[in-house]
A and B are shown apart, each in its own frame.
Chain A
Amino acid sequence: MSTHLDPVGADAPPGREWRPPSYWPFVIPALVVVLAVIVFPWVFTIWMSLNEWKVGSPTTFVGLANYLRLPQDPRFVEAVGHTLVYTALSVLLPLVFGTFAAVVFNANFAGRGLIRGIFIMPMMATPVAIALVWTMMFHPQLGVLNYLLSLVGIPPQLWVFHPGTVIPSLVLVETWQWTPLVMLIVLGGIAAIPTEPYESAQIDGANQWQMFRYITLPLVMPFLFIAAMIRMIDAVKSFDIIFAITQGGPGSASETINLYLYSVAFSYYDLGYGSAIAVILFLLVVALAALLLYLRQRATWTEIGAGA
């Protein structure tokens, strides 16, 4: 894992070599809680995924049968596709808008603190409450979004009520909600850049875009990477917004893996199969994280290659 995810950094500052033993009593209560609510469910989920386990009927050990069922389950395969599209869009769009917002918030203007407070409200607000209002806004006849479109001469859309537009519409909500988090992370990066490169670039006659492209962007790359990682994890896991607005519909057009997992486990009570989906969903997050790490590694090598 990247050390950038650490709040302070993995290397302890000098003078921290002093390490008295037995701080364990401090950790033990939390350890018990973590074992009970995080480690135990994990181990038990893996065990259940190896069993035919339905509520109300006896369980039998079936080995990997639940996993082998997955590729033959058209609804699961379709859900994987939805998840990947949803995730890709929900990483890219907040990254673009969040970076722009970070550049703006890095400037000095009156009332910046208050405006930043308002700007981060979408990600702190209760997702279900937000989803409810978006559902009303998406309404094809009475929704305010179609009214706004009509003002600029765009014909009314069906938004979340049409299989073709439901995922982009949900991504719109996700982007609205999570752009602030990307902004905060990237802003942390921009604020750490010294002013000298900008001063010399200005003397050399660089314009705003050139300064952004050749100074800001390369220097905030590590922060963009962290933002992309966090966004990816949250987008794959996204549940509240999708469940509250569409429940995976219309039909199964917006059913992601997480939504399908919910149906399997808590509508059909097929807990063994649901556990297998949960394990695969976790592995998908890990795999996508590895892919992002690989892409970053490659990008770094290309840069070094170009510089040499």
Chain B
Amino acid sequence: MSLRQAFGKIGLWFSVVVIVSPAILFFLWMLSLSVKFEVDNAAYPPVFIPEHFAWKNYTDVLASNRFLTYFVNSLVVTGTATLLAMLVGAPAGYGIARMAARKSAIVILIARITPGLSYLIPLFLLFQWLGLLGTLVPQIIIHLVVTVPIVIWIMIGYFETTPLELEEAALIDGATRWQVFRHVALPIAKPGLAVAFILAVIFSWNNFVFGIVLAGRETRTLPVAVYNMISFDQLSWGPLAAAALIVTFPVLLLTVFAQRQIVAGLTAGAVKGG
């Protein structure tokens, strides 16, 4: 019996290694590409750990002032779009949950299945007409397409599970509905807010399709900037991989440290924007 258990244990660990190795090996290879000089990146058979590390790839990317601009652009777009979404989405989730107006969430579902490009055509014209192209405003507004549905959807689900008794008691004591929301419901909903915030940040940060249409030279976000590097630096893999890793690193870090919230949010409705 113990032999069988041992076999079971080995089989389990073998399976674990098989299913995580595509992810681990990919990101290790990404790291390897980013710290190698061109000689090593063009070597055959491939070099996995180079003799000389090309830290220069990172310092070059970070030192270019363009990169700093794009980083700030990404921060502004993702930050503003997420905060606005939290401001309008958390009360909306609360209202929809308390009115049990679940049917109104159908709009969220439609938003979920609509391809991101469909929003771009009319909004592109609108922004052009308003003369906003060339600023970050169009991207902030269109990122709301990603962040608002995520926040509303997750907050509906969360407020449906929070107890009503405290809220009723506060109402009887003469609190207004806004006070109840602000001082009773919202503090209890902090874990839900965290989930909504994290997912909105990640999906906004990662968004690419809105940027390639709406961003000009000065208003690119990081994913668009990295994509534009491909066409210009086709052959220098090291700096490209370094840039790619820098762009996605905050998200990877968040994934490992906030994986419980991410898993909870994704399994709650698997809302993804764009």
- B50 CB within 8 Å of chain A: no
Query: Which of B46, B91, B121, B168 touches A30 (beta carbons < 8 Å)?
Result: B91
A100 to B153, CA, bound (A): 29
Chain A 1-50 residues near chain B, CB threshold 8 A: 1, 5-8, 10, 12, 15-16, 18-20, 22-27, 29-34, 36-42, 44-45, 48
Docked CA distance A10–B73 (Å): 40
- Chain A interface (Cβ < 8 Å from any Cβ of B): 1, 5-8, 10, 12, 15-16, 18-20, 22-27, 29-34, 36-42, 44-45, 48, 97, 100-101, 104, 107, 109, 113-122, 124-130, 132-133, 135-137, 141-142, 144, 147, 176, 180-181, 184-185, 188, 226, 230, 233-234, 236-237, 239-240, 243-244, 258, 261-262, 265-266, 271, 274-275, 278-279, 281-282, 285-286, 289
For A19, what are the chain B residues with a Cβ–Cβ distance below 8 Å? 98-100
Return the chain A residue nearest B94 by Cβ: A26
Q: Is the interface of A mostly helix, strand, loop or mixed?
A: helix
17 contacts between A and B (CB under 8 A): A7-B156, A18-B168, A25-B177, A26-B177, A30-B89, A37-B148, A38-B145, A41-B119, A45-B118, A121-B252, A122-B26, A128-B244, A132-B240, A133-B244, A176-B22, A240-B209, A258-B117
Do the beta carbons of A29 and B87 come within 8 Å of each other? Answer: yes
Taking the closest CB of chain B, its distance from the CB of A25, in whole angstroms, is 8
Residues of B within 8 A of A137 (CB): 29
Question: Do B171 and A100 have beta carbons less than 8 Å apart?
Answer: no
> Contact: B226 with A185, CB < 8 Å?
no
In the docked arrangement, what's the CA distance between A239 and B152, Å? Answer: 25
Query: Which residues in B have their C-beta under 8 angstroms from that of A42?
Result: 110, 114, 118
- Tell me which of A118, A239, A289 contacts B209 (CB under 8 A): A239
Do A118 and B256 contact each other (CB < 8 Å), given the known contacts A30-B92, A48-B121, A133-B244? yes
B143 to chain A, nearest CB (A): 9
Q: Are B259 and A34 in contact (CB under 8 A)?
A: no
A285–B156 Cα gap in the complex (Å)?
25
Interface check B269, CB cutoff 8 A: yes
Q: Which residues of A contact B251 (CB under 8 A)?
A: 124-126
